[in-house]
Amino acid sequence: MTIQAAYIDDEEPLLDVAKAFLEDEGDLQVDVFGVVWDAFSALNQRAYDVIVCDYQMPEMDGLQVLRVLRENGSHVPFILFTGKGREEVAIEALNLGADRYIQKGGDPKAQFTELKHAVVQLHERIKVESELQESNRELEVLYQATRELVGEHDLQQMGQTIFKAISSAIPADTMIISSFDGKSKLVHTEAAWQGGKSVEASLFPEKGLEEEGHGIQSLVIRSGNPLIVPDYQALLRASRSGHRPDAPIGQQETVQEDIAEQSGSAIIVPMKRDGHVIGVLSVMSNQKTVFTERHLRFLEPLAGSAAAAISLSRMHHEALVRLDRREQAEHQRGLMKSMLDSCEHGMMVWRLAYETEDFLPVLWNPAAVRLLFGREGEAFTNLKDCSRSLNLDLNGLAIEANRTLNKVEVLAVREGTPEHQLIEISLVPLDVEHVGLRIVPK
Confidence of residue 311 (pLDDT cuts 50, 70, 90): confident
Residues 402 and 355 in one domain: yes
Q: How far is CA 401 from CA 16, 427, 429, in A?
A: 105, 7, 6
Same domain for 127 and 23, yes or no, is: yes
Q: How far is CA 369 from the centre of its chain?
A: 57
**CA pair distance 60, 37, nearest whole angstrom:** 10
φ, ψ for residue 82, nearest 5 deg: -140, 155
The per-residue pLDDT for range 179-214, each reduced to its tens digit, is 998 889 998 888 888 888 888 888 887 888 888 877
The Cα–Cα gap between 200 and 256 comes to: 12
Has residue 38 been placed in a domain? yes
Same domain, yes or no: 238 and 361: no
β-bridge mates for residue 51, sequence order: 6, 78
Domain count, the chain: 3
The rounded Cα 150 to chain-centroid distance in angstroms is 12
Looking at the structure, do residues 205 and 300 belong to the same domain, yes or no? yes
| Same domain for 207 and 307 | yes
* 116 within 8 A of 29, measured Cβ to Cβ: no
Q: Are residues 196 and 107 in the same domain?
A: no
Give the model confidence (pLDDT) of 395-417 as tens digits. Answer: 888 888 888 888 888 887 766 55
Give pLDDT tens digits for 220-243: 999 999 999 898 888 777 765 433
Diameter of the chain measured on Cα atoms: 134
Q: 395 is in which domain, residue-wise?
A: 343-441
At 33, phi and psi to the nearest 5? -135, 125
- Per-residue pLDDT tens for 330-382? 887 777 777 777 777 888 888 888 777 788 888 888 888 777 766 665 555 55
Instruction: Tell whether 128 and 47 lie within a shared domain.
Output: yes
Other CB atoms within 10 A of residue 35 CB = 13
| 85 within some domain | yes
Rounded Cα gap, residues 366 and 371, in angstroms: 9
Task: Return the beta strands (E) in 231-354 as ranges.
Answer: 265-273, 276-285, 346-353
Phi first, then psi: what are they for 19, rounded to 5°?
-65, -45
User: Is residue 335, in this structure, part of any structural domain at all?
Assistant: no
Q: Is residue 187 part of a domain?
A: yes
Q: Which of 156, 289, 300 is nearest to 234 (CA)?
A: 289
Q: Which residues contact 246 (CB under 8 A, 6 or more apart)?
A: 187, 207, 210, 215, 216, 217, 218, 256
| pLDDT on residue 33 | 95
Amino acid 25: pLDDT: 83
Q: Please give the mean pLDDT across all residues of the chain.
A: 83
Q: Are residues 237 and 313 in the same domain?
A: yes
Rounded CA gap, 43 and 6, in Å? 8
248 pLDDT band (50/70/90 cuts)? very low
Q: Which residues contact 3 (CB under 8 A, 6 or more apart)?
A: 27, 28, 29, 49, 50, 119, 120, 123
For position 429, which CATH number holds?
Answer: 3.30.450.20
DSSP assigned state of 352: E
CA–CA distance, 6 with 29 (Å, rounded to integer): 9
